Chain A
């Protein structure tokens, strides 16, 4: 291929584009991620109809793929998409109305759509560039998609679909749900929004704390699903985490006075910074203390630390801020031995007070084992195990196995690792546990005697 056949600007600065041009596709792909949520949000505000808005925006992107290679990429692609989508929505309404007129349906519906059409035409592409208006539309949409009257799995799917621009097959793959199931989930959620009258707005101040929790919970779920994969495609998962971070940034930008939103963003950045070091080239899991810290993303860590510092200034601590602070302590340590486990244990004690769940207690036990010695941590874990709530939680058994291994109680360690393995489906995590199991088995054999 010639120097100028690759779609990059030539000496005259003109784009030489063909229908299959990679640059157009890249631009459209990137734009789709960044702009579709915004275009959909604006159209939903006007139409009050998720499906019509989504279809119109999708058509606009298809039109972009068809016309940009020929006519060139417009100066403001985002505004172009919103305008085109608006025109497509008007077309659809007109078609629908003609159909209605033909079947001599009641005039009422027609009137309604004429009004809608007028409102749609009133969307000024220049005004739709107004950052405040865009921000408002998106924020409204996030709160609608994450309304507590929707099931959590529906909230996650709807947020990724409408704001994230992920396709139904992509979301289905990420959450290991059959595609028809996910499609059905989306249809039901949209139907409920319409029929039950779920408002399209940012909740008033008295509802905001409760509703913001719901939004942050969805974003955190999306991030975690992308970070600690239960299984599946690594690339889709990376996209999920990136999407969660992008959406959280929007929430933070729009609600700068909410320290928990900032805390969540910090937590995501400080965790995501370790992504590259978390697996080997062939996909095997690397635990925190064995990670190559040179591979941690210093830029992300710095940004995360800035966020958590700003959040803590508000002096309204919450669970996300505390978890971010814990992640920051880990990220600050140059080597695993430098980790300030006493501070981490203190932070977990604070977290246990805020959210006294067995999983948080387990994390506290791990931190105590690190700061005070494995015997102390093990005693706490045995207490947690005795309650039985975490019987099916592989990390409890893996963590117990680790402490038993360090206490050289090989046979008990083997039993614990075996239980963890029986509960783990994630490939890299299984490989890791199998390695540990082989190791403790060999030690048990070597020391003899200690046979169950």
Chain B
């Protein structure tokens, strides 16, 4: 199964580019890559750069900022391959952000399992 590991934290946590934090992320990335479990992942620019888009009555409404005002913001994510939730939790616990903020573990839908086609055929080409 694949899991998204969504890393949440305060703005300060997310913008912490200290050498120690970066080393921690590099170590984690190498760890999952060496095990062949790394399927993807990105760091996101700070929340000040976020734009929220809604379409209402056919009109596109664009607003500054994240869609919800919360203290914990999404800072980045990994996608990993794991046999089960326990293994995914094990990976999540190794992410430096888990020590300051939190990591949400979300199973990724396997479209083959649902018997439906994937909504975008080219998604896997990314």
Residues of A at under 8 Å CB distance from B? Answer: 105-106, 108-109, 147, 149, 195-199, 203, 207
Contacts and interface: CB of A to CB of B under 8 A. Distances in A.
Given A108-B115, A109-B115, 5 more contacts: A108-B112, A197-B1, A198-B84, A198-B85, A199-B84
Interface in B71-126: 82-86, 88-89, 105, 107, 112, 115
A109 B113 CA distance: 9
Contacts, number: 29
Contact of B85 (A105, A106, A109, A149): A149
Given A105-B115, A106-B115, A108-B115, A199 B107 contact: no
A253 B7 CA distance: 41
B116 to A, nearest CB: 10
A183 to B, nearest CB: 23
What is the interface of chain B mostly: helix, strand, loop, or mixed? mixed
Contacts of B107: 195-197
Interface of B: 1, 3, 82-86, 88-89, 105, 107, 112, 115
A106 B107 CA distance: 24
Contacts of A105: 115
A207 to B, nearest CB: 7
Of the listed residues A109, A149, A203, the one surrounded by the most CB atoms of chain B closer than 10 A to its CB is: A149
A207 B115 contact: no
A197 B84 contact: yes
A342 B89 CA distance: 45
A197 B85 contact: yes
A48 to B, nearest CB: 11
Of the listed residues B83, B84, B86, B88, the one surrounded by the most CB atoms of chain A closer than 10 A to its CB is: B86
A137 to B, nearest CB: 17
A195 B88 CA distance: 13
Contacts of B84: 197-199
A199 B84 CA distance: 6
A190 to B, nearest CB: 14
Contacts of B85: 147, 149, 196-199
A197 B88 contact: yes
Contacts of A199: 83-86
Nearest to B90: A207
A159 B49 CA distance: 46
B121 to A, nearest CB: 17
29 contacts: A105-B115, A106-B115, A108-B112, A108-B115, A109-B115, A147-B85, A149-B85, A149-B89, A195-B107, A196-B85, A196-B105, A196-B107, A197-B1, A197-B3, A197-B82, A197-B83, A197-B84, A197-B85, A197-B88, A197-B107, A198-B84, A198-B85, A198-B86, A199-B83, A199-B84, A199-B85, A199-B86, A203-B86, A207-B86
B61 to A, nearest CB: 33
A147 B86 CA distance: 10
Nearest to B2: A197
A207 B87 CA distance: 11
Contacts of A108: 112, 115
A258 B104 CA distance: 31
Contacts of A197: 1, 3, 82-85, 88, 107
A325 B26 CA distance: 49
A205 to B, nearest CB: 13
A109 B112 CA distance: 10
Nearest to B1: A197
A152 B22 CA distance: 36
B37 to A, nearest CB: 14
A213 B25 CA distance: 31
Contacts of B88: 197
A108 B3 CA distance: 23
Contacts of B105: 196
Nearest to B3: A197
A203 B115 CA distance: 31
Contacts of B1: 197
A389 B89 CA distance: 32
What 4 A-B pairs have minimum CB-CB distances, sorted nearest first? A199-B84, A197-B84, A197-B1, A197-B85
A362 to B, nearest CB: 32
Contacts of B86: 198-199, 203, 207
A207 B105 CA distance: 18
A108 B114 CA distance: 11
A432 B114 CA distance: 58
Nearest to B88: A197
A144 B84 CA distance: 12
A105 B114 CA distance: 12
Nearest to A105: B115
Contacts of B112: 108
A424 B86 CA distance: 41
Contacts of A198: 84-86
A203 B84 CA distance: 12
A198 B1 CA distance: 11
A149 B85 CA distance: 9
A136 to B, nearest CB: 17
A409 to B, nearest CB: 46
A105 B88 CA distance: 32
A195 B109 CA distance: 8
Contacts of B82: 197
